[in-house]
Amino acid sequence: MSQKIYAAIAGVGHYAPEKVMTNADLEKMVDTSDEWIRTRTGIRERRIAAANETTSSMGLAAARMALERAGTAPADVEAIYVATCTPDMIFPSTACLIQAALGASRAYGFDISSACAGFMMALDAAAGAIESGRVKTALVIGAEKLSVVTDWTSRNTCVLFGDGAGAVVLKASDRPGIRSSLLGVDGNQADFLSIPAGGCKMPASEETIRNHLHAIHMAGRETFKIAVNTMMEAAQEAISRAGLTVEDIDLMVPHQANMRIVEAVAKRLGEGVMEKVFLNLDRYGNTSAASIPLALSEAFAAGKVKSGDKILMVAFGGGLSWGGSVVEWL
């Protein structure tokens, strides 16, 4: 009987642009205040990519860090999964651009568009390829340049988003690494969080540009309620599928969207869970698909992750879409 193959995280990396946009900077742009933003979101500042930085260039930087930490050469990478809703262009995919720049000549790749839940979708796809035996080493990247799809005249959305990238190297293992994965979507609520224009349904025109329809539109109150309930349920199911309890979780790395959402989810999961949560949203804001891998990489760099730790990752985003996963750090 052949030995069962598992997928495990072998390395993590991240990249954040140098430019910092503080709440004080936003006060000069829209009718808002540092206190208003912090009390409602927990965000103090976010990173804004330079004009010559792209989703692919940020994803490339994060991938290189992850590969270095994993002790893996680009030539050994067989698959590249890029989660993003801000690709460099419609096609070719951002994964193709990163594959070429990285020199990963053996790798195939493609993009996954699932907004803030994109990384969880990509992680599941990569883990499945490894567990099937088709791939031994994969790169999973979450990268976003949300500053180009942000309406900087809307105080309800422009305070939330930032740019950045995160990446993980997945490798075949004889021990369980990705212990569970749960994914879901509900297209009936797609209008709650979307970029209306730019596709074939509403091509670019003077009207779409004038009405900021190429920017992120969000129904805040409705999205908040659904996000809390969905992330909590996804977290519980991911833990259950891993054969664990909430008490077994050593670290929780949630999508870094809003402090109130994170606190509400942690409170519903149980007493003491919030103390296990790793947060960096105060410094980066919501970086969509980059959020979880960026936070996971920073948690690793800060010494918050050690061998044997059970890590819960959970996200919610446009689609509406969501995902949860429990990973054991090898």
Active site residues: 116, 255, 286
Distances (CA, A) of 58 to 24, 62, 68: 26, 6, 16
SS3 of the chain: CCCCCEEEEEEEEEECCCCEEEHHHHHCCCCCCHHHHHHHHCCCEEECCCCCCCHHHHHHHHHHHHHHHHCCCHHHCCEEEEECCCCCCCCCCHHHHHHHHHCCCCCEEEEECCHHHHHHHHHHHHHHHHHCCCCCEEEEEEEEEHHHHCCCCCCCCCCCECEEEEEEEEEEECCCCEEEEEEEECHHHHHHEECCCCCCCCCCCHHHHHCCCCCCEECHHHHHHHHHHHHHHHHHHHHHHCCCCHHHCCEEEECCCCHHHHHHHHHHHCCCCHHHECCCHHHHCECHHHHHHHHHHHHHHCCCCCCCCEEEEEEEECCCEEEEEEEECC
Do the Cβ atoms of 96 and 303 come closer than 8 Å? Answer: no
Cα 90 from Cα 12, distance rounded (Å): 27
- Please tell me whether the peptide bond between 92 and the residue prior to it is cis, using omega within 30 degrees of 0: yes
Cα 234 from Cα 276, distance rounded (Å): 17
Backbone dihedral angles phi then psi of residue 80, each to the nearest 5 degrees: -130, 120
